[in-house]
Structure 1
Amino acid sequence: MLISHGTLEHGTLGDWALDPVAIAVTVGVIGLYVVGRRPGHDAPWRLAAVVIGVLVSFVAVVSPLHVAAERSLAWHMVQHVLLIGVTAPLLAVAAPWPALARGLGVRGVGAVSSARRLVGLDVARMRRLRSPLARWLLFVFVFWGWHSARLYSLAVENEWVHTIEHVSFVVAALLVWSAVLGPERAGGNADPAIRVLVAFLLGLQGVLLSALLTFAPSPWYGVYVDRLGADDALADQHIAGVLMWVPLGALITVAGIWAAMTWIGPDDEPARSEPGRVSQGTATESTFPEITRLR
């Protein structure tokens, strides 16, 4: 659904975009997960997390929110909070990749692997992305890059660039959230202390960018000045900074507290049910080696 809203000239029902690609991708992802999950093995909360995460993404890109985001930085920031702070962590916690691979089947997994190699994601690059700090650096690069004046204005004015922006946000956020909340191997086998560090660094860079937006003496983005006027664009930008600061910061804080509790808590229960810890018997449930075995 993230790649759909810029692909078709869609009709509308009010301000809702009736985009058949968005609907097909949403139904397809949920359907693949339902087909591939093992009811006696996969906890029901994982299904709920996948469904909610996918539906939140769907709402973010085809609802009236998307139309409002083209006219307001504040509403655009709400989109970013939903994609980065709701969809990505829910999918990271659920770690649906093995179930999606089973739903795709051997041929589907082969096609995905071929596409991955085609875009240059070879084994060496994938291995480097297992480092939690590398994932954080990638997220910072993506997050700050898209909030630069030139790239941001380009995304607002061009649907295809806007699509790339959203896809890159979710991918980068999914990688870094997996390092904080995901199962051990999906998170790069990160030590609990590293999980806490990544959560802290994630919040720190967010606070810095949101403070710059909130207290800026002039608007950053000329596209909103043209549409709203300088005074309204500045007020809109300040609201956007607060939206980044408070809701997204609160979500990251909760994740950091959870990671810290996991780090300092008792370690005498090998099969605890927290999303970021899995028993030895189920560790492969959320790892890419299982996808390889399907081939």
Structure 2
Amino acid sequence: MVNLLPLLHGDASGPFWAAWSWNPPVLVLLLSAGLVYGAALRYLGQRGRPLPPAWQPIAFYAGLTSAALALMGPLDLYNDELLTMHMLQHLVLIQVTAPLILLGRPVQLVLRGLPPERLGAALRVALRPQWVRTTLTVLTAPLTVTLLANAALVFWHFPRFYEAALYSTAVHDLEHLSFFVTALLFWWPIIDPVPRHHKLPALWAIAAIFATLVVSMSIGAIITLADRVIYPFYAGVPMPWGMAALTDQQVAGLIMWVGGGFLYMGAILALLARWLRQEERRQATLAEQRARHAL
């Protein structure tokens, strides 16, 4: 029975870093995103318009590179043998790829790169229906995105649904898509890729990330501390590097519990530092205003 379990994403029998598969839909999507972003940059440069700071394109293309690593590289090819690799794959998509892409401000850049007459016409057509505007408002609301991101995280770690993704390519793709889309929605109001659109105050953004941190670390702790293999699929496949299924599960849980926790804590500290700087500037402005009134 074990020998009949198919590998969903190719052959992982060679060297780890050489384990790549060229998934055509993913490759086309990543290349298209990169070309559109580059074309928008070129358009702005040719017309003498202000270009974004260098760190934004670097962040965007780093995000695309991380997506390629997660969806076509070793993390993908080894995720049928090791829960550890599957966990790393999800961590990259949710906590690395999504925020890096949004830090590149792709929507803002493309909108600036469109000719004004085309931009106005496109926005009028796209946003004219009231239901479209209402749907976008609800979908990008801070509470909505936090609930969606955490619901996806909890749902796909139930053994029944996790195992379904391992046995079905279509379900596996749906799992990745739901993680990535909800991550984009979650980081959207925090990173603010389009100015003045659902920008979360720093303290509320910290609260949203902290709530997600608690959920993520709780799942990681449950997986790490379990005394049996939670996902039977991994108990039935030969594991590389002589790793036992329970050890693999414990390492995967630690990655989610500790590694994912560090990433979320890093985001919280960055937001806290930004909030403190804003408060210092606000207090300095108030003090200056009081000084003027006192004269």
Residue in structure 2 matched with residue 82 of structure 1 by the alignment:
92
**Partners of 1:255 and 1:97 in 2: CA distance:** 22
Q: What is the correspondence of 1:134-283 to structure 2 with a 5 Å cutoff? A: 134-183=144-193, 185=195, 188-228=198-238, 232-267=244-279
**Partners of 2:10 and 2:235 in 1: CA distance:** 27
Stretch of structure 1 that moved more, 20-29 or 261-270: 261-270
* 2:106–2:193 contact (8 Å) kept in structure 1: no
In structure 2, do the counterparts of structure 1 residues 98 and 266 end up closer, same or farther at CA, with 3 Å as the change threshold? closer
Letter in 2 for 1:208: S
CA RMSD across the alignment: 3.1
Matched, 1:72 2:99: no
Letter in 2 for 1:36: A
**Partners of 1:69 and 1:224 in 2: CA distance:** 10
Spell out, residue by residue over 1:136-165, the C-alpha distance to the aligned partner (whole angstroms, 9 max, x if none). 110011111111111111111111111111
Q: What is the correspondence of 1:44-55 to structure 2 with a 5 Å cutoff? A: 44-55=54-65
Spell out, residue by residue over 1:217-258, the C-alpha distance to the aligned partner (whole angstroms, 9 max, x if none). 2221121122259x9222211110011122221111110011
Letter in 2 for 1:261: A
In structure 2, do the counterparts of structure 1 residues 104 and 20 end up closer, same or farther at CA, with 3 Å as the change threshold? farther
Matched, 1:122 2:137: no
* 2:9–2:77 contact (8 Å) kept in structure 1: no
Letter in 1 for 2:39: V
Aligned residue among 18, 26, 33 for 1:22: 26
Tell me how far 1:269 sits from its aligned partner.
5.9
Residue in structure 1 matched with residue 291 of structure 2 by the alignment:
none
Stretch of structure 1 that moved more, 191-200 or 35-44: 35-44
Higher relative contact order (CA 8 A, sep 6+): 1
Matched, 1:95 2:105: yes
Give the secondary-structure state (helix, strand or coil) at the position aligned to 1:16: coil
**Partners of 1:133 and 1:98 in 2: CA distance:** 23
**Partners of 2:263 and 2:168 in 1: CA distance:** 30
Give the secondary-structure state (helix, strand or coil) at the position aligned to 1:265: helix
Stretch of structure 1 that moved more, 97-106 or 155-164: 97-106
Tell me how far 1:214 sits from its aligned partner.
0.5
Length-normalised TM-score, structure 1: 0.76
Q: What is the correspondence of 1:1-20 to structure 2 with a 5 Å cutoff? A: 15-20=19-24
Tell me how far 1:267 sits from its aligned partner.
4.6
* 1:93–1:178 contact (8 Å) kept in structure 2: no
Matched, 1:31 2:43: no
Tell me how far 1:183 sits from its aligned partner.
4.6
In structure 2, do the counterparts of structure 1 residues 22 and 194 end up closer, same or farther at CA, with 3 Å as the change threshold? same
Query: For structure 2, which runs of at least 5 residues remain unmatched after alignment?
Result: 1-7, 283-295
Tell me how far 1:180 sits from its aligned partner.
2.6
Larger radius of gyration: 2
* 1:11–1:19 contact (8 Å) kept in structure 2: no
* 1:89–1:177 contact (8 Å) kept in structure 2: yes
* 1:69–1:76 contact (8 Å) kept in structure 2: yes
Letter in 1 for 2:261: G
* 2:192–2:198 contact (8 Å) kept in structure 1: no
Length-normalised TM-score, structure 2: 0.76
* 2:140–2:188 contact (8 Å) kept in structure 1: no
In structure 2, do the counterparts of structure 1 residues 186 and 226 end up closer, same or farther at CA, with 3 Å as the change threshold? farther
